[in-house]
């Protein structure tokens, strides 16, 4: 009975609070690890703006992306659906790939738009364009963000490490001249940086390429985002902004003013620029007098990567993912446990910390709850409304399980309570074995990082290691001891549940029709 009246009180308070629809801004950082931010323990970089956001809102310590990989992670955020339901969506997509989101599927932007919100996507897209392969960069890039519920789009079409190195606005490449078309197989006129790849995959379009300066991408996106917020604040209409930064994905190309400012090399300098970007968004919300009626969420698409920039940062003492095992693309915690901070003055308790299990997949249903949008059974099938964890008690539990997809499908994992089950031995991510290689990861990386795991010895998986993995994260948060042989029944049960989830939607509204 007490719980019933508590629920009624919560509903009455929050239904009245949302009488004026709040603005919603999601800042989605790229490759930002759990240990890359001051309020999560970083000491070799300074993040005063992100730390200020945490002091003004709620910081989550058990937030995860439903995929440890960039493209599937973004698919998850936009659709509220696990990427395993999309078939073969385990890997990043590149310049030849069509749009991977079905325009007929409801997206988080559709949810906001149907509630009367102005919507925009600014920054990294990385979900493909059009319907054919290879993509025709000389024509209309359609369908794309505008067919998925966004009123406007400006940003980086793929990723800052891979072509084309241009900007796209709405349906066209910015600065495109039909007299100088894109040509597959030609070398692009673009600046060279370490860990910037495939510059010979598509060239031509000299004017469009010239408008793209790697060291101005972050500041350009910040300017676009703040201008858009300022304009929408004046309109008085509620707005939804999905702001996907290219920071801190390689190559590490901060603007001149940030270079040399950290103790973690260019990796750390790129974090400093990201923190400035977050500060710019916070400042414009305050200046436009809409901060008090805006839910601002800051999180990352996956964990930090031990690329060459990451290796240099590590040598200097920076720990990308804190003490967590693993890195970007991995099934281990470092691949998918990420910073997650939310601020909503008067609704979210300032300075609070939560250990509730939450995920990027949950933003879909949460936006629906905030905007009053009733979800159908085929919408956001894996998204849980995390408003109780945002605005209620810090440790309110909204979900007890989460399906997590690394790069390799053999390593699909299930988090259940304190336990995580990983379907194969090893990490499931990058496989380079030598320090100095771009994709250093897995057992070989432990010779460099000093991480300890019971299945690994001398940088290799032990011959007698179990075929799968089970860890109790409450007792062993850094995954030092695989206990699957001690708890075979738990592993068996979790494996069966994981297979069931692959074919069955998990969100409460899919079963109850709420």
Q: Which residue among the candidates 44, 64, 126, 411 is catalytic per the annotation?
A: 126
| Cis check: omega of the bond before 164, within 30 degrees of 0 | yes
Could you tell me if 329 and 429 are in contact, meaning their C-beta atoms sit under 8 angstroms apart?
yes
Residue 255 half-sphere exposure toward CB, CA atoms < 13 A: 14
CA pair distance 74, 119, nearest whole angstrom: 17
CA pair distance 98, 91, nearest whole angstrom: 14
389 membership: H or E segment, kind and range: helix 387-391
Tens of pLDDT along the chain (514 residues)? 333 333 334 444 444 345 589 999 999 999 999 999 999 999 999 999 999 999 999 999 999 999 999 999 999 999 999 999 998 799 999 999 999 999 999 999 999 999 999 999 999 999 999 999 999 999 999 999 999 999 999 999 999 999 999 999 999 999 999 999 999 999 999 999 999 999 999 999 999 999 999 999 999 999 999 999 999 999 999 999 999 999 999 999 999 999 999 999 999 999 999 999 999 999 999 999 999 999 999 999 999 999 999 999 999 999 999 999 999 999 999 999 999 999 999 999 999 999 999 999 999 999 999 999 999 999 999 999 999 999 999 989 999 999 999 999 999 999 999 999 999 999 999 999 999 999 999 999 999 999 999 999 999 999 999 999 999 999 999 999 999 999 999 999 999 999 999 989 999 988 754 3
Could you tell me if 433 and 458 are in contact, meaning their C-beta atoms sit under 8 angstroms apart?
no
168 φ, ψ (degrees, to nearest 5): -120, 135
Give alpha helix (H) positions in 169-323.
206-210, 217-235, 265-287, 308-315
Active site residue 162: no
Active site residue 70: yes
CATH dotted code for 19-402: 3.40.720.10
Q: Which residue among the candidates 70, 121, 209, 509 is catalytic per the annotation?
A: 70
Nearest CA-CA partner of 440 in 330, 338, 356: 330
Token duo for residue 105:
């599927």
Angle value at C-alpha 490, between 485 and 491, nearest 5 degrees:
60
Domain parsing of the chain, residue ranges = 19-402
Q: Beta-carbon neighbour count of residue 497 at 10 Å?
A: 15
């Amino acid at each position: 009975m007490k719980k019933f009246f508590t629920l009624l009180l919560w509903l009455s308070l929050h239904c009245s609070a949302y009488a004026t629809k709040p603005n919603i801004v999601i800042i989605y950082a790229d490759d930002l690890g759990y240990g890359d931010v001051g309020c999560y323990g970083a000491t070799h970089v300074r993040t005063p703006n992100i730390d200020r956001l945490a002091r003004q809102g709620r910081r989550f310590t058990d937030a995860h992306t439903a995929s440890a990989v960039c493209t599937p992670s973004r698919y998850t955020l936009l659709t509220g659906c696990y990427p395993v339901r999309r078939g073969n969506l385990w890997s990043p997509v590149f310049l030849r790939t069509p749009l991977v989101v079905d325009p007929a599927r409801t997206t988080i932007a559709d949810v906001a738009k149907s509630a009367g919100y102005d919507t925009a996507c600014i920054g990294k897209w990385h979900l493909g364009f059009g319907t054919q392969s290879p993509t025709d960069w000389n024509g209309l890039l359609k369908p794309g963000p505008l067919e998925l519920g966004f009123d406007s789009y400006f940003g980086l079409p793929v990723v800052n490490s891979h072509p084309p190195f241009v900007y796209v606005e709405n349906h066209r490449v910015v600065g495109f001249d039909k007299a100088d078309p894109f040509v597959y197989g030609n070398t692009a006129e673009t600046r060279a940086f370490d860990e910037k790849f495939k510059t010979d995959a598509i060239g031509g379009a000299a004017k469009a390429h010239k408008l793209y300066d790697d060291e101005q991408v972050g500041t350009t996106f910040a300017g676009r985002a703040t201008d858009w917020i300022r304009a929408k604040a004046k309109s008085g209409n509620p707005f939804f902004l999905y702001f996907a930064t290219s920071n801190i994905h390689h190559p590490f190309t901060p603007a001149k003013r940030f270079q040399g400012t950290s103790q973690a090399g260019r990796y750390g300098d790129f974090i400093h620029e990201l923190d400035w970007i977050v500060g710019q968004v916070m400042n414009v919300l305050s200046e436009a007098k809409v901060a008090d009626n805006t839910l601002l969420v800051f999180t990352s698409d996956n964990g930090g990567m031990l690329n060459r920039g990451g290796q240099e940062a590590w040598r200097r003492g920076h720990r990308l993912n804190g003490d967590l095992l693993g890195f970007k693309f991995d099934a281990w915690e470092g691949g998918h446990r990420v910073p997650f901070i939310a601020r909503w003055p008067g609704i979210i308790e300032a300075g609070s910390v939560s250990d509730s299990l939450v995920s990027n997949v949950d933003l879909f249903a949460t936006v629906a709850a905030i905007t009053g949008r009733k979800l159908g059974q085929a919408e956001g099938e894996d998204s849980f409304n995390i408003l109780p964890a945002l605005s209620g008690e810090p440790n309110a539990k909204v979900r007890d399980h989460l399906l997590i997809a690394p790069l390799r499908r053999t390593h699909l994992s299930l988090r259940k309570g304190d336990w995580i089950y990983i379907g194969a031995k090893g990490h499931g991510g990058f496989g380079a074995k030598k320090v100095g290689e771009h994709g250093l990861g897995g057992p070989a990386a432990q010779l460099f990082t000093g991480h300890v795991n019971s299945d690994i010895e001398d940088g290799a998986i032990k011959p007698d290691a179990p075929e799968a993995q089970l860890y109790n994260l409450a007792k062993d948060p850094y995954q030092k001891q695989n206990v699957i042989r001690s708890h075979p029944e738990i592993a068996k049960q979790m494996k069966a549940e994981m297979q069931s989830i692959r074919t069955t939607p998990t969100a409460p509204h899919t079963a109850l029709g709420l």
